Every structure is written in structure tokens, then in C-alpha cells.
């Protein structure tokens, strides 16, 4: 059984009523890891959060869940399956705000999500960093322990009378609480009010990768095959159960679920595909490079999609994603491709690097190698000899032992 530890801390309003819970993923040693330290950790937390009876009972009908987000979670579609009426996207204070990230934040706001800023220290540097987002932010979590008193008061006045709610974070004593109430904070959080509890959530079982890949294939290639989708979903009872739970928790429809086909029709294929991709991400190996490999696969897929003719763009994207599956899932790629009977153009590329997408793949790989070569040269002095030897040998590149240590 896959147990996920979730740290939850209460957030209170002025009437000392529970307004929300801050949710934090914990590793097996019960240490805070943040939301997105790994693809697996991120996806498991979100997947468990949206389908878990334990968390559903905790949040109830009125309370919200704050989930911490950074550049990775914003740009990889992981947040797309969250219920905008149930979860607040809590923007990490160290986030790097380039144009892409700012646009993503605004997009989620336009979709109806509430946004908050984490550990706002009230400094001029912090104000300057986030000023471009203030029109979109709903809650600022002001760290009263890190903020200078004079800066704290200035920020309070700056946002007085605006739509932004101010949350006093890190309230440690009764005196802190009284001072924050007098300053006019709307929301309150800290050890004085509530210490985090760790709850156990039963995470998704090891999903059948082949079944999920088949579902993705059907959604991508057959616009009428709802019966096929239902057939494959029924092959994995746990997957079907999680899908129905997700549907019940996220869809504001007064309907009783009578069949999987009904759920598929009401959700729509795009949302179902996003949910399946998230489920797939949550089954990634514990390989420490899995996050980087996934990002590489997405970049490669986007590059090949851009290269392809209009009628082949979807296939080119899938071909790029599948070209790295053997590394991500640590499985025999021929067995995987034979099992799912993928399109012949995609199969030829993945297995033999042949076919209509071969040139595009070669260009993408060359660009990747050039970038990695620059990284290798820039960091060569930091590498250990044993690491280099292991990398070359595992990659099938023989080393002439007689040359090691040769100064010629």
C-alpha cells in the first residue's frame, strides 16, 4: 500500500474560524519536501488530494487547501486538474518571475483560481519583485517573524482598502497574535494558533503503465471511441475508482454517476487526458533524474511538433514523448511499444529512429547534446573520475584502461 504523508496546518479568519489548510507533502522520513521537489512527489500529492476521502473530509464543503507552487508546477500542466473552488495556488517566495511564469500565473487567475504569495517579508525588494502581480493576487501571506515592524506597517497601509486579504504568517506567541489583530490582518496562521498535523493518505497503487498509455493513445487518435475508453478503464478497477472520485470532487454537477461513459462525456476528452497524464507522472520511477528526463521529453516533443506538417503535429509530439519513455520508466521499450500497438510512424521512430520524424528527432537530439556539452565543459572540474567512468561504461563507450593516467 502506498502511504503519502501530508502535513496540514490550519489558517483562521478574524472570528477564529477555520478558513483553510496549508498542505505540504512529506517524504518517508517525515521531512518537509515542498510541493515540487520531484515529479513523483508533486503528482502523488495532487492526485491524492483530489481523490482522497481523508482530505475531502478534512476540507469539508467550505474550507480551502493551500498548495505551494513554483516554476515547474506552473508550466507542466500538473495544476490543471485541481478544482479552482477548492484549492488556492500559493506562489513560492523564491519563484523566478520571467515573462512565461508571469503569463502562466495570470492564466490561472483568469481560470478562476485564487492566488496567494508565500512568506512575504514586507521588504522593498519583495514588493518590487511581485508588484506586477498585485492586481491578480488574492491573499498575501506576510511573514511577521521575518518582516521589520516599520516595513510591516507600511505594507499594511499600502493594501488597506484593497481586494487583497492579508494573512499574518508565523504567529508564535499570544503577543504576536494580539499585535496582528490590532494591525488589521484578515487571516492568521502560526504555531501559537495551530501546530501542523501529519495525516496519512492512501496514495494511488502502482498503475498499469500499459493501460494508461493505451488510454492516451485512444484519446489522441479516436474521437468516437468512448466504449473503448470505458473498456480499458474497467481493466483497472483502482483507476476507475480514482477517476470517479476525481469527477465527484471536482465537477459541480448534480448528477449521480451511472457509468464510466457518462463520466467521460461530462468531463470531456481534454480534461480526461490531463488527468491521465498526471496519473502517469505519478507513476514515474524514483530515478533522481526523472524530473529532468520528463522536462527533456516535453522540450523534445514541442520541438518535433513545431517541425512537423500541420496534419502530423499531434503524432510528432507523441513521437517525441515516447522517444524517452524507456529512460523514464526504466522498461524495455520494444515490449512497451509492441504491447500498445502505436501508430507505425511513431513506432518506427522510437524503436529504430527511422521514418518521417527521424530528421526532426536527430535535430532535437543534436540541440540537446550541444547544450549538455556546454554544461559538461563548464562543470568538468567538478566531476569525479569514477562518475565519468560509470557514465561512459553504462553508455556502452569502452575505456582504454592503459590510457588512464597517461600524461602524453
Give tens-digit pLDDT for 57-116.
777 777 899 988 888 778 766 676 677 888 899 999 999 999 999 999 999 999 899 999
For the cut 70, the answer to whether the pLDDT of residue 45 exceeds it is: no
Q: What is the pTM of this model?
A: 0.57
pLDDT of residue 33: 45
Of the given ranges (175-179, 274-278, 356-360, 375-379), which has the lowest mean pLDDT? 274-278
Confidence category of residue 365, pLDDT binned at 50, 70, 90? very high
pLDDT of residue 39: 43
pLDDT of residue 402: 77
pLDDT of residue 199: 82
- Compute the average pLDDT of residues 397-408: 73
Closest by Cα among 270, 238, 209, 312 to 77: 270
CB 330 within 8 A of CB 341: no
Of the given ranges (154-168, 185-199, 289-303, 324-338), which has the lowest mean pLDDT? 324-338
- Compute the average pLDDT of residues 29-41: 46
Fold of 3-202: TIM Barrel (3.20.20)
Confidence category of residue 289, pLDDT binned at 50, 70, 90? low
For the cut 80, the answer to whether the pLDDT of residue 294 exceeds it is: no
CB 146 within 8 A of CB 167: no
Domain boundaries, the chain: 3-202, 206-284, 287-408
Residues found in the chain: 408
Amino acid at each position: 500500500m502506498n502511504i503519502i504523508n501530508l502535513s496540514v496546518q490550519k489558517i483562521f479568519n478574524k472570528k477564529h474560524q477555520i478558513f483553510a489548510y496549508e498542505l505540504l507533502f512529506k517524504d518517508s522520513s517525515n521531512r518537509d519536501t515542498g510541493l515540487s521537489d520531484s515529479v513523483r512527489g508533486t503528482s502523488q500529492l495532487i492526485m491524492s488530494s483530489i481523490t482522497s476521502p481523508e482530505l475531502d473530509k478534512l476540507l469539508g464543503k467550505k474550507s480551502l487547501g493551500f498548495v505551494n507552487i513554483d516554476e515547474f508546477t506552473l508550466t507542466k500542466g500538473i495544476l490543471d486538474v485541481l478544482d479552482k473552488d477548492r484549492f488556492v495556488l500559493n506562489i513560492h517566495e523564491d519563484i523566478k518571475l520571467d515573462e512565461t511564469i508571469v503569463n502562466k500565473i495570470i492564466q490561472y487567475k483568469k481560470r478562476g483560481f485564487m492566488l496567494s504569495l508565500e512568506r512575504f517579508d514586507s521588504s522593498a525588494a519583495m514588493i518590487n519583485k511581485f508588484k506586477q502581480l498585485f492586481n491578480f493576487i488574492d491573499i498575501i501571506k506576510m511573514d511577521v517573524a521575518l518582516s521589520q515592524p516599520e516595513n510591516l506597517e507600511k505594507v499594511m497601509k499600502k493594501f488597506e482598502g484593497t481586494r487583497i486579504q492579508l494573512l499574518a504568517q508565523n504567529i508564535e506567541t499570544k503577543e504576536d497574535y494580539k499585535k496582528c489583530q490590532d494591525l488589521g490582518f484578515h487571516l492568521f496562521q502560526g504555531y501559537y494558533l495551530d501546530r501542523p498535523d501529519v495525516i496519512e493518505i492512501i496514495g494511488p497503487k502502482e498503475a498499469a503503465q500499459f493501460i494508461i498509455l493505451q488510454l492516451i493513445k485512444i484519446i489522441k487518435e479516436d474521437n468516437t471511441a468512448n466504449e473503448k475508453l470505458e473498456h480499458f478503464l474497467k481493466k483497472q478497477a483502482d483507476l476507475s475508482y480514482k477517476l470517479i472520485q476525481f469527477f465527484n470532487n471536482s465537477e459541480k454537477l448534480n448528477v449521480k454517476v451511472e457509468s464510466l461513459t457518462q463520466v467521460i462525456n461530462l468531463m470531456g476528452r481534454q480534461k480526461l487526458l490531463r488527468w491521465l497524464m498526471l496519473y502517469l507522472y505519478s507513476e514515474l520511477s524514483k530515478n533522481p533524474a526523472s524530473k529532468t528526463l520528463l522536462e527533456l521529453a516535453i522540450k523534445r516533443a514541442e520541438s518535433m511538433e513545431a517541425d512537423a506538417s500541420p496534419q502530423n503535429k499531434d503524432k510528432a509530439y507523441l513521437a517525441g514523448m515516447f522517444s524517452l519513455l524507456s529512460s523514464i520508466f526504466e522498461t524495455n521499450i520494444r515490449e512497451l511499444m509492441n504491447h500498445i500497438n502505436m501508430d507505425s510512424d511513431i513506432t518506427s521512430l522510437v524503436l529504430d529512429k527511422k521514418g518521417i520524424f527521424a530528421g526532426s528527432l536527430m535535430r532535437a537530439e543534436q540541440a540537446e547534446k550541444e547544450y549538455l556539452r556546454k554544461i559538461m565543459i563548464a562543470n568538468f572540474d567538478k566531476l569525479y573520475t569514477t562518475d565519468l567512468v560509470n557514465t561512459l561504461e553504462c553508455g556502452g563507450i569502452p575505456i582504454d584502461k592503459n590510457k588512464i593516467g597517461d600524461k602524453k
